[in-house]
Amino acid sequence: MNILILEDEELAARQTVQFLKQAGLVSEAPPVLRSVEKALSWLQTYPMPDLIFSDIELLDGNVFSLYERFRVTCPIIFTTAYDQFLLAAFRGNGIAYLLKPFDYAQFREALDKYQFLQQSFAPVVPAAAPVLSADIVRELGQALRQNAQPQYKQRFSVRMRNGLYVLQTDEVAYVQADEGVTFAVDGAGTRYPLGGTLTELERQLDPTRFGRLNRSELVNIAFVEKVEPYFNNRLAVKLRASSVTLTTSAAQTPEFRKWLEG
């Protein structure tokens, strides 16, 4: 089965591949694309896949901008962390979705729905007819735009030794890049490895809550107890109920002061 995965989170993409193998649909990992532009280039180059697993927010923007630019003629199972604007848009149109974090049972249910719809409607739907019609794309785009505030990540699914751990962003005290790996650190000091670079994660987090300290750290304003002057035009940021003190870089200090003032 020819499958394409549009997903900017490494752990989520890895889980989707694992579930596809578990379901016996693939033996090797299918293509995983993390941005709208890369997905557009791929679709313009290769034959249409049998099925697409598509996240909503990719690295360079909303995935519906891709579907407005390219006519997709295969079924799509959406994977998303947000449900408030999708439920009404999907009603009655036959497109499945998976709300993150999802388990294999939910994944299997979405696949079963796809296979049932494919068997039920294949005889009466012309092969060239787009599964995701222009009207549906327009409806989904309008549903997204109705929410005036950008949608930021609410939780991370983190692969730990005993499985996937769901970490709410409210629990993250700061995010730190260390030797090529990005970690979320909670109030107790526990470190959780995340997929993506610090810059990529910064775009996914609410900028009113997470501010940039320096090239390797972001801090959650809810965990900031006190900010004091430090050497060389830097600031020392003391965290609540913790012995941890972070520091801004001299270059970032002016922007951090503006961010603190809201």
pLDDT in tens, 68-124: 888 888 888 888 776 654 554 454 334 677 877 789 999 998 888 888 777 765 544
What pLDDT digit, counting tens, does each position of 30-61 carry?
A: 999 999 999 999 999 999 999 999 988 888 88
Instruction: With cut-offs at 50, 70 and 90, classify the pLDDT of residue 221.
Output: very high
Which domains are seen in the chain, by residue range? Answer: 3-146 (3.40.50.2300), 155-260 (2.40.50.1020)
Give every CB contact of residue 220 below 8 A, 6+ residues apart in sequence: 169, 172, 173, 174, 209, 210
Look-up of token digits 């993250």: 172
Q: Is the pLDDT of residue 180 over 50?
A: yes
Q: What is the mean pLDDT of residues 18-22?
A: 95
Q: Which pLDDT score is estimated for 92?
A: 34
118: phi > 0 → left, psi -120 to 50 → alpha, else beta; which? alpha
The model's pLDDT over 128-175, given as tens digits with 9 standing for 90+, comes to 444 455 665 666 556 555 544 557 888 888 887 777 888 999 999 999
How much is the pLDDT for 148?
A: 42
Mean per-residue pLDDT of the chain: 83
* pTM of the model as a whole: 0.54
Residue whose structure tokens are 């996240």: 55
How much is the average pLDDT of 221-246? Answer: 94
